[in-house]
């Protein structure tokens, strides 16, 4: 029987929502530049399904630059309360402008303003400079909806491999690896 890694992900994610003290959707995002130098940071999962796993960020950030040079990524969820991890790997594409606009519109107004005020990953001389920029954008958009900054984008990691790791006694852990070949997913096990 064909296995469905997305249903399994949904089940684990639902359990994590119940048990994690905060941010069950927090995931480590690993990218690498054209020379293969890796970097990793946390982002929040904002959409997922067979088409991919979506997060939002500033395309001028360090990660945005790396994804422009080398559009592949790895994601890692570690749900400590469940002693489980999920690893996802694959190419990365941008979400459409419409999808990004729709998600941006659901954010709190101050988060929207923050997206304009933050020059993400660039050097900042003082906290006061950032607060001043925030005040300026607040004044600029007074009385109007805050549009999505053009550099604030969604990225979708299109999975080719998804591994579910589950703690078992005596480190005899369980690893289920799903791999995609075209449209077809197959499942196997890995030694822990
Ligand atoms: C739990 C958590 C969630 C985060 N979520 C996001 C996010 O969704 N998007 C984002 O751009 N940065 C997010 N950040 C900040 C990033 O980890 C990082 O500091 C920032 O994006 C700059 O990364 P870069 O310089 O590698 O591009 C989050 C940080 C934490 C700790």
Contacts of 187 (CB under 8 A, 6+ apart): 3, 5, 176, 177, 178
pLDDT over 70 for what percent of the chain? 99
Mean pLDDT check: name the lowest of 2-6, 94-98, 102-106: 2-6
Rounded to the nearest angstrom, the distance between the alpha carbon of 172 and the centre of ligand 1 is: 33
Is the beta carbon of 42 within 6 A of some atom in ligand 1?
A: yes
Q: Predicted confidence band at 34 (pLDDT cuts at 50, 70, 90)?
A: very high
Rounded to the nearest angstrom, the distance between the alpha carbon of 57 and the centre of ligand 1 is: 8
Pocket test for ligand 1, best of 25, 44, 67, 152 (most atoms within 8 A of CB): 44
Segment 12-24 shows an average pLDDT of: 98
User: pLDDT tens digit string along 114-130?
Assistant: 999 999 999 999 999 99
> What is the DSSP secondary-structure string of 130-164?
HHHHHHHHHHHTTTS--PPPTTEEEEEE--SEEEE
Q: Predicted confidence band at 187 (pLDDT cuts at 50, 70, 90)?
A: very high
Segment 90-94 shows an average pLDDT of: 98
In angstroms, how far is CA 88 from the centroid of its own chain? 11
Q: Which helix (H) or strand (E) holds 179?
A: strand 174-181
Hey, which residues are catalytic here?
A: 171
Segment 23-36 shows an average pLDDT of: 98
Residue nearest ligand 1's atom 6 by CA? 43
Q: What is the pTM of this model?
A: 0.96
Residue nearest ligand 1's atom 24 by CA? 62
Q: Predicted confidence band at 153 (pLDDT cuts at 50, 70, 90)?
A: very high
Instruction: Give the pair of three-digit tokens for residue 179.
Output: 């791999």
pLDDT on residue 3: 72
Q: Predicted confidence band at 172 (pLDDT cuts at 50, 70, 90)?
A: confident
Contacts of 186 (CB under 8 A, 6+ apart): 3, 178, 179
pLDDT on residue 170: 85
Q: Across all residues in the chain, what is the average pLDDT?
A: 96
Is the beta carbon of 153 within 6 A of some atom in ligand 1?
A: no
Map tokens 């805050």 to a residue. Answer: 146
pLDDT on residue 1: 37
Q: Which of 89, 6, 103, 92 is nearest to 46 (CA)?
A: 103
Q: Which helix (H) or strand (E) holds 89?
A: strand 84-94
Ligand 1 atom closest to 61 (CA): 27
Instruction: Give the pair of three-digit tokens for residue 61.
Output: 């950030």
Is the beta carbon of 162 within 6 A of some atom in ligand 1?
A: no
177-180's contacts with Cβ under 8 Å and 24+ in sequence apart are: 178/3, 178/5
Is the beta carbon of 62 within 6 A of some atom in ligand 1?
A: yes
Residue 31 has pLDDT above 90, yes or no: yes
pLDDT on residue 2: 44
Q: Can you name the residues that pair with 77 across neighbouring β-strands?
A: 86
Is the beta carbon of 70 within 6 A of some atom in ligand 1?
A: no
């Amino acid at each position: 029987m064909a296995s469905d890694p997305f249903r399994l992900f949904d089940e684990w994610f639902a359990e994590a929502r119940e048990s994690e003290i905060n941010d069950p959707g927090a995931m480590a995002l690993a990218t690498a530049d054209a020379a293969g130098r890796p970097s990793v940071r946390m982002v929040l999962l904002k959409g997922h399904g067979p088409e991919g796993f979506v997060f939002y960020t500033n395309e001028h950030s360090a990660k945005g630059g790396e994804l422009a040079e080398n559009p592949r990524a790895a994601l890692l969820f570690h749900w400590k309360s469940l002693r489980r991890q999920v690893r996802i790997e694959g190419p990365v594409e941008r979400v459409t402008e419409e999808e990004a606009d729709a998600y941006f519109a659901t954010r709190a107004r101050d988060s929207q303003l923050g997206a304009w005020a933050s020059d993400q990953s660039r050097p900042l001389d003082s906290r006061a400079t950032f607060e001043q920029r925030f005040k300026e954008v607040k004044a600029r958009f007074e009385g109007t909806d805050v549009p999505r900054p053009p550099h604030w984008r969604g990225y979708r990691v299109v999975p080719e491999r998804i591994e579910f790791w589950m703690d078992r006694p005596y480190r005899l852990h369980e690893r289920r690896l799903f791999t995609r070949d075209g449209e077809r997913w197959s499942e196997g096990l890995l030694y822990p």
